[in-house]
Structure 1
């Protein structure tokens, strides 16, 4: 396994709004009962005619320059490289090229990431894909659910993170991926709290980039631009749950609740247990004052056992922002059951228990947060809060 620098923290986009949730879960279902023929028609009238938006092609995103290809050939022709399998050449080149790589929350093209030695995780994975193509290597991508250590609130959006890791094969493996064939793994930033997820098809991996670009546009409230970027992603992966979910959000933000609901319902046919889609669908129902239906969705959210425990953390933080302390406790306790060493969850849970008036319980939970963190700044902050609680109980 090739492990790249731990100094990268944020991965590719997942956005949890304080009013909406944009999925970053990357589940790939081999067999789906609901085919793309049933995808609801988008409301193209929401985008002004004669408006031009930048929608890059896959070729422009992944293309390397002639000089970059020459640099790659010079590197793999070295005496210590030339006799290695091509998959190892790719891995060693990525490891070499990304020394002192500077994380920037920017969805760079492969060529830009190469030249600037900067970008986000998705940009680095795209660069790996580009180099693998140059050397006729077969890349396979697997979702890794990452702890949202850099959760960032901007406006009414909560940005969280997950990422992919790459398996490099000298030729397309026969049978099931990750078994039988020899591969080299590039894990860009491993963390002890990571949870591995599903294998992602190549088209879904490429569609992720359009999802990321659309997320950038959404953060800037450029909803029409997000619309056309997502539309391009659908040409690659019409059943990719995060695209469906985000397109529903864009329709709602542009005032078309009817199409948004059709998209949510379509997404739930594909993935009935999607915490992301259910959360957003619940919001739509609440905004329309359909309280009974919203309550039913709430029960579904609570009952689901997700393969990605960090979704519960995000839902718990969302509930905490709305001061819905009962739901905060439910979701954070479900999360802690799967990830018992994540100190941020204990701190959030303590705030919820305090909001419910359970001061002694909040005190006990906050003590656990203090014990779990090894970051001095966090420990001092938690201790200060704990002292305040102790004074309240004196």
Structure 2
């Protein structure tokens, strides 16, 4: 999809039957549209219990991690260190891997939300108190199969339960953040509930389904997210994107307007509304909204980066180069921007400049996986030159 339509996911955005019957969705939420997706109940979502469940093997991992070599009391530092060792040595950080706690443990692929869910489940099983936080990061987009995904980020704090009578060793609390972009830890954060984390999980799974063109499944997840936490506007924005994609423009506008009633400063909701207006021939209104959105985003390097990505997807190479350069001027440390410059120079036939930017991207990449990816790209280019 070549429009700048932002699906909201909770990773950097994306099972089996739920234990409870889906509630009826008439009032007070007119933005829900069960009639459009009459078979949505054939796609039940995971229950909270299923999302945080750990099997015996995962529980055994926790038990072994709890006891340090010189103490017989539960060691919070040891538990967290073992979880990080497990994730760093054998678990692949993948932004698209949205999974329940037990699947994350066994599949060894997850994003920050899935890793946080697994860690919460392990901390809870061990008897510690875990608290989720949503990090207030600037708008940050990624591209996936033609979609622009605007990403959120979560981390957590783990500490001793005040009511417990079990003695523990080491720190009273530890902050845990799996994001390889370390800079995000410097942003303010707000405490959120376990229920809100489940809502984020549903939105991520709904985004997965939407990208796969499984629209009824996507509705099932977005619907459940909206009903579980109706105050979270991301669910209503995502529903609006879904309605627009199936051609229900009236429902899409209702959903965007409902999201804006919760927060009329949401640039994502306004931008999606402008896309809808343009699709329905309301060009002047679309232009007015988009001008206001762009004036607010002009200083965000990732705004220019995602415009470059979209232009490159469309084959507008010179325009892509202009956007990447604007992003680079605002922030010269982002590996994504440097790789964007490498891609566009490669398309222009300037292989040596592409090679130079890939080397720079490799140098500032925050994770081993990114560095290895750039090394592979660099080796491919070198082999072509030679």
Number of aligned residues: 345
Question: CA offset at residue 324 of structure 1?
Answer: 7.8
Question: CA offset at residue 157 of structure 1?
Answer: 2.4
TM alignment of 1:142-291, pairs within 5 A: 142-143=134-135, 145=137, 151-154=142-145, 156-158=146-148, 163-171=153-161, 183-191=173-181, 194=184, 196=187, 198-199=189-190, 201-202=192-193, 203-291=195-283
* Partners of 1:50 and 1:264 in 2: CA distance: 21
* Partners of 2:191 and 2:327 in 1: CA distance: 24
Question: CA offset at residue 146 of structure 1?
Answer: 9.4
Which of these residues, 17, 23, 43, is aligned with residue 8 of structure 2? 23
Which whole-Å deviations, capped at 9, do the CAs of 1:289-319 have from their partners, x for residues lacking one? Answer: 1110111012111221589753443244335
Asked whether 1:92 is paired with 2:81, we answer: yes
Instruction: Tell whether the 8 Å contact from 2:7 to 2:149 is kept in structure 1 after alignment.
Output: no
In the superposition, the TM-score normalised over structure 2's length comes to 0.71
Structure 1 gaps of 5+ residues are 1-15, 28-36, 173-180, 354-358, 384-394
- Bigger drift between 247-256 and 186-195 goes to 186-195
TM alignment of 1:87-166, pairs within 5 A: 87-98=76-87, 99-103=89-93, 105-134=96-125, 135-143=127-135, 145=137, 151-154=142-145, 156-158=146-148, 163-166=153-156
* Partners of 1:344 and 1:317 in 2: CA distance: 10
Which of these residues, 308, 333, 338, is aligned with residue 341 of structure 1? 333
Q: Which has the higher contact order (CA 8 A, sep 6+)?
A: 1
Instruction: Describe the shift of the 1:94–1:147 C-alpha distance in structure 2 as closer, same or farther (beyond 3 A).
Output: farther
Structure 2 gaps of 5+ residues are 13-26, 163-170, 364-373
* Partners of 1:50 and 1:142 in 2: CA distance: 29
In the superposition, the TM-score normalised over structure 1's length comes to 0.70
Which whole-Å deviations, capped at 9, do the CAs of 1:74-95 have from their partners, x for residues lacking one? Answer: 432444464455x435413412
* Partners of 1:205 and 1:115 in 2: CA distance: 21
Instruction: Tell whether the 8 Å contact from 1:141 to 1:205 is kept in structure 2 after alignment.
Output: no
Secondary structure of 2:128's aligned partner: coil
Question: CA offset at residue 55 of structure 1?
Answer: 0.9
Instruction: Describe the shift of the 1:90–1:147 C-alpha distance in structure 2 as closer, same or farther (beyond 3 A).
Output: farther
* Partners of 1:77 and 1:129 in 2: CA distance: 18
* Partners of 2:40 and 2:132 in 1: CA distance: 39
Instruction: Tell whether the 8 Å contact from 2:243 to 2:251 is kept in structure 1 after alignment.
Output: yes
Instruction: Describe the shift of the 1:207–1:49 C-alpha distance in structure 2 as closer, same or farther (beyond 3 A).
Output: closer
Which whole-Å deviations, capped at 9, do the CAs of 1:174-198 have from their partners, x for residues lacking one? Answer: xxxxxxx963122214335647353
